[in-house]
Structures are given as structure tokens and as C-alpha cells.
Amino acid sequence: MKKPKKFLKILAIIFAVLILLVAAGWIYLSRAIRPPVVPQIPITTTPADNGHTPQPSTGDDDDEPPPPAVQQFEERRPDFFTFVIFGLTEGLNANTIMVAAYDAAAREAFLISIPRDTLVVNDRINNRKIVASYPSGRMGGRGHEGGVERVKDEVATLVGFRPDFYISVDYAAFVRMVDAVGGVEIYVPFRMYYSDPCQDLYIDLQPGLQLLNGHDALLFSRYRTGTQGVSPTISDYQRIVHQQQVLSAVFDRLLTPASLLRIPEFIRIFNDYVNSDLASGELLWFANQARNIGGIDALSTYTLPMAGNSGASPWYEFADEAGILELVNRSVNPFVRDITSQDVRIILR
């Protein structure tokens, strides 16, 4: 008769230990999950000018030295976070660049795709397109960090602010994430056929509404040039639309109850295949925020407005300053004030 009592006692001890472990894990996660701290954007002003442009010196010998500069910071919208997201081709070229923002107060997300051929202000001579920002930043032994910083800098010339955080995604991360959500339902508008042995790239997607796995969703997102006589060639803008369709479909899948239960798996994929300056606890905070987002309509996708192109090699796309300012100020602008033409460095056509 003593054995059952002993067994129950051991079972009670094990149960108590499990409760303690779960409680300890919950406390640890509660402390680890936190919103990211956004970097402050400095403004150098002087007490005399109150933020206005200082007057130039007259050159007289009796001029008094200017008052010491004081550091101020841009006033930001509360609980508003910005990102630059770029997809790497073979780890070298940022063929896909997007600026994103998450407004936690309004429970909305915004995504702006930047055409890869956009002409940007930089010190390059031969290739001044934004697609070349990452590889040029890696040069001189600066590596991945140098590439990230250059992407942020060149994006800032177009949108008027430097994104808070970065997320770089390679093909493996994209495929695994789509597979993790169970695939995405996409309407393929026509047969997409393209074969390029040099790139080891083979695309053959049939038209119609279908559930694409990660591999096929990647091919759908990459497709641009079709095999003559079989499939049409599309513009970079059409490819951006396809990429946004896939991202919206993934976003929609992520908001389902089944996907919310798989958040740890998504975090593992992120840690294993994605580079970012967001810590694990910050990623968990954003994952937890998914419960507050009101469906797919909470994600708004756009393409950076363009004002035309060069019409010849090297085929530059010219940014539309007025259109960009209007779009940025109603979507991804993290500041309380509007971004103006004084904040951007856009090469006008």
C-alpha cells in the first residue's frame, strides 16, 4: 500500500518542478520580449538660431565666435518603427529593396518597394543605381555591415530618413518562410517559362490560381524575362507587383491562429537564415504584435513613384520627388513633422 503513496508523492514533486520551470520560462520570456529602442536622429543647432540656419560670418576681426552647438533630436511618432528590407541574390546584390514601417499605435503596416534601377546620389561612377548599394558598401573589406550601412544611406536620400533597422533575406529564408506558413495562394496570370543554365534558373509555372510552395513562390517573385515565343517579358514594376502579392499572401497566412502557434518556428527560421540588427526579444515582440493587427487590410503596399527613365543604357529610373514626399508622409514617415524637399537628395530628371 505504500508504493502508490510513494508514486503519488514523486508525481506531485515532478508536477511542482514542471510548474516552476514553466513559470520561470514565462518570466524569462516576459522580460526578454520588449519593443526595440529606435535610434535617435540628431539635429545640430545653436541656441541663437533655435533650429534655423545660422547666418554666415562677415569676416570681421571683431566677430564673436558662434555659440557652442547643442544636440537636439527629431520628435518621433510614438511606437512607430521603420525598416529597410532587402533580398540578396547569391549574397551579393540587393535586387529587391523595400522600406517598411509598423505603426503599433494604429496597428498598421506599410511597405514601399524601390525599383532596382532608381538613380541615387552616391560616389559611384559606372553604376549609380540603388541595386548597387550593397555590393559597393562591402568593398574595401567593410563586409556585410558596410553593405547594410550603404543601403541605409542611399535609401535615406530617397525617403528623407534613415531606417531604424534592417532585415536582409536570401533565397533560403524566403523559401522556408513560405513553406512554414503552408504555402501561398497566388494567381499566375500566364505561363511563366524561362531557362538559364548559367544561373541554374529554371522557371515553368502554369497559369491559374494555385497554392505555391516556397520554391515556386520564389520563382514567381523572380520572374521577369520570358523565353521568346513561349512566355512574355515583364517590366520591373510588374515584378514588384508579383513580389508584393506574395508578401501580402504570407502576411495574411501569418495572421491565422494556426500560424500564431508556430511563432517559435518562424523565429528559428529568422535566426538561422535572416540577417538583422533586431534582437531575439525584439523579434518576439513584433511576432506578438501580429495578434493586434486587423487582418490583411492593415498592410498597405506601394511602389516608390518614378518620373520616367533615361530611355537608354545604363537605363536609370528617375525618382519623382513630389510623389515620394506625398507617399512617405502618409505612410512610412517616422517623424511628427512632414518630410520636405530639404530632407531628400533626389536627382531631378
pLDDT in tens, 251-260: 888 777 777 6
State residue 283's pLDDT score: 76
Long-range own/partner contacts, residues 122-129 (CB < 8 A, 24 or more apart) = 122/154, 126/314, 127/314, 128/316, 129/314, 129/316
Sign of the torsion angle spanned by Cα atoms 22, 25, 30, 31: positive
What pLDDT does residue 291 have? Answer: 64
Residue 61's pLDDT is what?
Answer: 44
pLDDT in tens, 266-323: 778 888 888 898 887 787 787 777 666 655 567 899 999 999 988 878 889 999 999 9
- pLDDT score for 110: 94
- In this predicted structure, the answer to whether residue 17 has a pLDDT above a threshold of 90 is no
Mean pLDDT, residues 71-96 taken together: 81
User: Phi first, then psi: what are they for 277, rounded to 5°?
Assistant: -95, 15
Which residues, 6 or more positions from 292, have their beta carbon under 8 angstroms from its beta carbon? 104, 107
Q: Residue 80 pairs with which residues in a beta bridge?
A: 103
List the domains of the chain with CATH numbers: 80-329 (3.40.630.190)
Q: Are 257 and 182 in contact (CB under 8 A)?
A: no
Mean pLDDT of 180-206: 91
Report the pLDDT averaged over residues 53-80: 55
- The neighbour count for residue 251, using CB atoms within 10 Å, is 20
Q: Which tens digits make up the pLDDT trace of 147-161? A: 999 999 999 999 999
Q: How confident is the model at residue 87 (pLDDT cuts 50, 70, 90)?
A: confident
Q: pTM value?
A: 0.78
Q: How confident is the model at residue 42 (pLDDT cuts 50, 70, 90)?
A: low
Tell me what pLDDT residue 82 has. 95
Q: What percent of the chain has pLDDT above 90? A: 43
Q: What is the pLDDT of residues 210-252, one digit of tens each?
A: 999 999 999 999 998 888 888 999 998 999 999 999 988 988 8
Residue 98, pLDDT score: 94
